[in-house]
A and B are shown apart, each in its own frame.
Chain A
Amino acid sequence: MRHIVIIGNGIAGITAARHLRKLSDDKITVVSSETEHFFSRTALMYIYMGHMKYENTKPYEDWFWKKNKIDLLNAHVESVDTSQKKLLISNGDTISYDVLIVATGSKSNKFGWPGQDLIGVQGLYSYQDLVEMENRTKGIKKAVVVGGGLIGVEMAEMLLSRGIEVSFLVREKSFWNNVLPIQDAQLITRHLRAHHVDLKLETELKEILPDENGRVKSVVTSSGESISCQFVGLTVGVSPNVDFLRGSGVEIKRGVLVNEFLETNIRDVYAIGDCVERNYELPGRRNIEQVWYTGRMMGEVVAQTICGKKTKYQPGPWFNSAKFFDIEYQTYGQVGNRLGSSEDEFYWEHAGGEKAMHFIWNKETRKFLGINAFGIRLRHECFDRWLREGRDIKYVIDHLPEANFDPEFFVRHEEEIQKHFSSTNVIAA
């Protein structure tokens, strides 16, 4: 019986633990200093907004771990000794392992701004961040959020739900325009403004100024504007949380480098989830993918390999989703923020301005490449299949009704989309 130790109890580490348990009788220990039990990181915002309590964000009841013989250790790993196969934890104890899985996730980026460590300046990633945010935003009137990504928009929504005014500094021309095509980004930008977010586009943070108690008092933007505020959210992305591994012999660039079996350069040490940097390319994918789903998939895969069924990490067609205030977003396949030279596109937007679909396909082969959908739910299974089968754009448009996943009685738009498509793509159709 081996002792498999997993550092990190997020979605990647816990998925690995669950699958290891299904496949083996090895002793499994999950070490985390964040929370005693696994919770859904994506639900942090809902705790702050009062939609749920922390308890509600735990995907498994507390008895689950004992019943499935997954040992949970509430401790912080200081360093790893790969030659002795030992972990040094914060209370000075050591833990021996036979197999180690590093699943330590991310940490919020800070880019060396003056004042970035003041009281009331923070990112939002961990449970501790949430507690901190709860304490720092009690009774305040005004906040500034820096960085136009998914965590930034979540933070804006959280703060507004407490009646705190939000100025949102976004570097791009339109919200999330570094990921979304301009039409899509503009739709969301409008939506944020409709929700009274004071959106400052093409604006960056210059410095954060303190009051006499070392608390944030105001920020100065790249345009020279000074905004007084009592809280600053820094949401300019995250980086792999791997500093504790430096010097352990495990090869690290920005993240822990792994091969297609999620193995590191050291035998019996694996890495999964946000903290991973793949040492090989996958077409259309970045080498560090900090997404819930990839963490989960890697957890599944690494368990197979460790239990003797060597399995490559081969994620299927890309998918992701998010919700921007009231607009749900789903994406399948590859939709870049700029149309590639070999690509063609079709953008449809509903007259109400809160629903849209954006199709991308190859100009030559007409092969369907990807879709962004806003305000309309799509069936993952359909797009996964169509992308795997390499269907062309006409097929996708023709079969669009099959992929609708909206609840019963919702107004359907496929007919309009199809008409619109054939009228704008006369030559092609």
Chain B
Amino acid sequence: MRLIRIIGLALFLAAFGLFLSLFFASEFTLTKEIFSDNVKPEHQESLLPMMEPLFGKKFGTSVSFSNTLADAVESVNNQFRQQQLWEKVIYDDYVGGLTRASLTGIVRDQALLLMILVFGVGALGALMFILPKANLEPAGIKNNGIFFHALNNRGWIGVLIGTLLIIFYIFLYFYDAYIVNWIVLVDPLKKWIDPNGSSSQWFLYGFLYTFAVVVMGVRMIIKYRHSRYQIFRTISVMFFQLALAFLLPEILVRLNQPYFDFKNMWPLDYDFFDAWHINMLTTAGGLGIFMFAWGITLFVIGVPVFVYFFGKRWYCSWVCGCGGLAETAGDPFRHLSDKSLKAWKIERWLIHGVLVFAVIMTAAVIYNFATGTSSFLGLDTYNHLRKPYGFFIGAIFSGVVGTGFYPFMGNRVWCRFGCPLAAYLGFVQRFKSRFRITTNGGQCISCGNCSTYCEMGIDVRWYAQRGQNIIRSSCVGCGVCSSVCPRGVLNLEVKDEKGRFGQPVLLGNNIESN
């Protein structure tokens, strides 16, 4: 068993190493044909003088090649700007397309084989590492050594993984040409789903994301196999990520329908009301109209009704993609969340600030859509609202920080400090819901496992040790506090709203107050 695990780990690391090395695997040569095929006729004349010297020249990495291309385009544009020929400035993103078209070598020739080696062998290795745990130790909470481990406790492995993730997200959002080898690597899968399609950086991202949720979901199930709550919940996030977030939108595109994730919703899906999105849905026939109506129904009716009956968890730890990744790939880092009162104060300002930002931006977008204007209350909607939101919130906060910081600040950085949908769900949970975490009489021994393993940084113990129920807007209902409690003190319950906060009374004494 132990041998299988060691082999599994070796296979996984080999596959991961192969994946990383593929970053450097291709050569890039721009040719006249590639140039003519990929550049719009109206731009060919102005770009040719700068591009021609590159024809036939071999570049060893996507980084040097795409940087050279970007410099070429930029110098052309600078000339136009100097000559004040504003209408001639090129805004089309040619770098990604040209880099991809100029790529030659093993990734292009053997994409399918490499994909199987990386992801097939990677998954096999991971499962060989994960599954035998079920036989090696009895079911139950086994957090042994977590605070000694270099992965889990901000040691060198954690720092390494965090750094890789942060770099990956920066490339993904801002330098997609750099990761063109990986984009091409998953092209066979894209073609299998949609023969006319071609993988993009977002397809790569969706695939890696789903891969992580599914593989680490299996790990989560093995780890918490004594708890049916955790098993069901994990299967749920795995299903929603695989089926609704990844496969269904791709299939819809193949069927010439709009790309649509049925479980995503405003305000997490912050561009839902952008003109281009509304137009895309409303011009796509009956299904498009249904999608538009569905998206609105979900947050107008779905949120209050489901949160009332089940708590915010129905979304955050059972359905959501960000939550899905946090609850699977992020589980090894859940104890790194900050439990201090100070962190809670920062959290409340930040998350509600983002919600206000999202609401104002959306109001502006809808106002502009209805009136045909492009500004709102004196603000240019694109430059002052949409662009900064997309950059700071959409890319930096939810992506780079939200996932890249898993190994440093825990697995729910985005959900806790940034997600506007979580803020909205939280309001309902706090003020109108049947959900609570019940504290079991006077049984708490203040050990601190619940607070330590709360990914949202809630000081669960503070409530439990005074015999009070826990009702917090941020609680995503993952149920891990209840799982790790050694004395059976905590339980996620839905019951009559009346008395849900409970009195802070510790049973067992003759004193009525605390």
Contacts and interface: CB of A to CB of B under 8 A. Distances in A.
A316 B509 CA distance: 5
Contacts of B446: 11, 40, 42-43, 59
Contacts of B452: 51-52, 56
Nearest to B479: A407
A292 B486 contact: no
Interface string B404-444: 00000000000000000000000000000000001011110
B261 to A, nearest CB: 27
A380 B226 CA distance: 23
A59 B465 contact: yes
A323 interface: yes
A195 B147 CA distance: 22
A37 to B, nearest CB: 13
B488 A311 contact: no
B507 A380 contact: yes
A427 interface: no
Interface string A50-69: 11110011110100000000
Majority SS at the chain B contact face: loop
Given A61-B340, A326-B226, A328-B486, A405 B491 contact: yes
B134 interface: no
A285 interface: no
Contacts of A161: 144-145
A377 B140 contact: no
Contacts of A408: 229, 492-493
Contact of B507 (A312, A328, A377, A384): A384
Interface stretch (A236-244, A295-303, A417-425): A295-303
Contacts of A378: 488
B506 interface: yes
Contacts of B479: 407
Given A56-B451, A405-B488, A411-B228, A40 B445 contact: yes
A164 B138 CA distance: 17
B492 A50 contact: no
A409 interface: yes
Contact of A50 (B145, B229, B462, B488): B145
B442 A407 contact: no
Contact of A49 (B144, B440, B511, B514): B144
A379 B441 contact: yes
Given A304-B511, A323-B487, A377 B440 contact: yes
Interface of B: 138-141, 143-149, 226-229, 232, 340-341, 438, 440-443, 445-449, 451-452, 461-462, 465, 479, 482-484, 486-488, 491-493, 506-511, 514
Q: Which 7 A-B pairs have the closest CB atoms?
A: A380-B441, A326-B140, A377-B488, A43-B447, A409-B228, A50-B145, A323-B486
16 contacts: A49-B143, A51-B484, A52-B449, A292-B445, A293-B443, A300-B506, A300-B514, A314-B509, A319-B441, A321-B443, A330-B488, A380-B440, A380-B507, A381-B440, A407-B227, A407-B229
